[in-house]
């Protein structure tokens, strides 16, 4: 086993009273594609922000090549952030800028490449995600899937060796999904990119993953190979993968009694992820 690129050690995190992580552990190895799954609100997007050092944790450590984010000075932290391309859940393009301008921005800010080179790069990456003919459009003129692909092209502009994808194919048609999956696999094979992919799409997950990790109740309840996730009898994994309604997995948003809330009764506190019965 190579040294992990990223290590999460005993991470605890609350937002107010709400527990997000408790003693969360995970290793991410260089060159692998790790797929993170979990219910809505389980803390997947937050985890990507923790890895970037954008969310303060209560305790525990995030180690990058053995070095704690807490020990990094501004310059080191910036250089870590620059080495990671992030595709945000919503694409996160700037609304007032065209695709061309959106793609040019990070490169203009972080390198001293000339404008003509940057523009050529923008065209190449937009071609890669099938958007070159839309280069001068504003995000408002694009569909949800196009925005997502635009966000991916922008993330690729810095030629990152590490990519975090937050639901890269959610809301895309099957062909666009297959194209994005193909792109993620190509980046891994040809560039040796390390990828962390958050997805609800089981078909994509099984296609892309070297390993999968299921986030549940503040921890990774299961981490393993595609083979393990396909065959395990673990009821939590089975319920999540097979999309069954009965089982140990409860969506955090289902935890409060809707009726009790409507009637103004005091809602009984339930531990995260447990049934309310
Ligand atoms: N800045 C914040 N302040 C307070 N609460 C937050 C903040 N960011 C996230 N949360 C809460 O933390 C929980 C986890 O949010 P997160 O966005 O990580 O979930 P997720 O697993 O990505 O969900 P989804 O699958 O719906 O995208 C949610 O309950 C959310 O409301
Ligand atoms: Mg999310």
Pocket test of ligand 1: the residue of 13, 36, 46 to mutate, having most ligand atoms within 8 Å of its CB, is 46
User: Measured from the CA of 16, which atom of ligand 1 is nearest?
Assistant: 4
Q: Cα separation of 64 and 72, whole Å? A: 10
Q: Cα separation of 74 and 77, whole Å? A: 5
Give residue ranges with CB within 6 A of ligand 1: 15, 18, 20, 38, 40-46, 89
Q: Cα separation of 97 and 257, whole Å? A: 44
Secondary structure tally for the chain: helices H, strands E = 10, 10
Q: Cα separation of 150 and 99, whole Å? A: 7
Where residue 257 falls among pLDDT bands split at 50, 70, 90?
low
The model's pTM? 0.86
**What whole-number percentage of the chain has pLDDT above 90?**
59
Q: What residues does each domain of the chain span?
A: 32-45+73-262
Alpha carbon nearest to ligand 1 atom 28, residue: 41
Q: Which residues pair with 52 in a beta bridge?
A: none
> Which pLDDT score, from 0 to 100, does residue 172 have?
80
SS3 call for 87: strand
Cβ burial of 38 (10 Å; 0-12, 13-18, 19+) is buried
Closest to 219 measured CA to CA, from 4, 7, 8: 8
How far away, in angstroms, is 76 Cα from ligand 2 center? 27
Which runs of consecutive H residues, i.e. helices, occur in the chain?
A: 44-51, 74-82, 99-110, 115-128, 144-156, 174-191, 202-208, 226-231, 235-242, 258-262
How far away, in angstroms, is 166 Cα from ligand 1 center? 13
> Which pLDDT score, from 0 to 100, does residue 252 have?
52
> Which pLDDT score, from 0 to 100, does residue 176 have?
81
| Per-residue tokens: 212 | 């999968």
Query: Is residue 1 within 8 Å of 29, Cβ to Cβ?
Result: yes
Where residue 218 falls among pLDDT bands split at 50, 70, 90?
very high
Residues 9-33 pLDDT 10s: 999 999 999 999 999 999 999 999 9
Residues 145-204 pLDDT 10s: 888 889 989 988 988 989 999 998 887 888 888 888 988 898 888 888 999 999 988 889
Residues 91-144 pLDDT 10s: 688 999 999 999 999 899 888 999 999 999 999 999 988 899 999 999 999 988
46 pLDDT higher than 80:
yes
Q: Which residues pair with 13 in a beta bridge?
A: 21
Find out if CATH 3.40.50.300 is the number for domain 32-45+73-262: yes
| Torsions phi, psi for 262 (to 5 deg) | -65, -40
User: Measured from the CA of 55, which atom of ligand 1 is nearest?
Assistant: 1
């Amino acid at each position: 086993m190579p040294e992990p690129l990223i290590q999460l050690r005993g991470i605890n995190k609350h937002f107010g009273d709400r527990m997000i992580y408790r003693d969360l552990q995970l290793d991410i190895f260089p060159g692998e594609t790790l797929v993170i799954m979990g219910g809505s609100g389980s803390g997947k997007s937050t985890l990507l922000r923790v890895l970037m050092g954008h969310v303060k944790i209560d305790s525990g450590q995030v180690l990058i090549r053995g070095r704690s984010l807490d020990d990094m000075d501004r310059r080191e932290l910036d250089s870590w952030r620059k080495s990671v391309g992030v595709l945000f859940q919503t694409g996160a393009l700037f609304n007032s800028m065209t695709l061309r301008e959106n793609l040019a921005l990070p490169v203009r800010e972080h390198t001293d490449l000339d404008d003509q080179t940057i523009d050529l790069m923008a065209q190449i990456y937009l071609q890669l995600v099938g958007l070159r003919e839309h280069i001068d459009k504003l995000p408002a003129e694009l569909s949800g899937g196009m925005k997502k692909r635009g966000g991916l092209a922008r993330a690729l502009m810095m030629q990152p060796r590490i990519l975090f994808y937050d639901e890269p194919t959610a809301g895309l048609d099957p062909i666009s999904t297959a194209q994005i999956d193909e792109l993620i696999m190509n980046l891994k094979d040809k560039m040796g990119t390390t990828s962390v992919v958050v997805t609800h799409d089981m078909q994509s997950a099984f296609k892309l993953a070297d390993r999968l990790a299921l986030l549940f109740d503040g921890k990774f309840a299961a981490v393993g190979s595609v083979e393990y996730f396909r065959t395990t009898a673990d009821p939590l994994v089975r319920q999540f993968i097979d999309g069954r309604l009965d089982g140990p997995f409860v969506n955090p948003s289902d935890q409060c009694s809707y009726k009790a809330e409507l009637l103004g009764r005091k809602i009984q506190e339930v531990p995260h992820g447990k049934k309310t019965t």
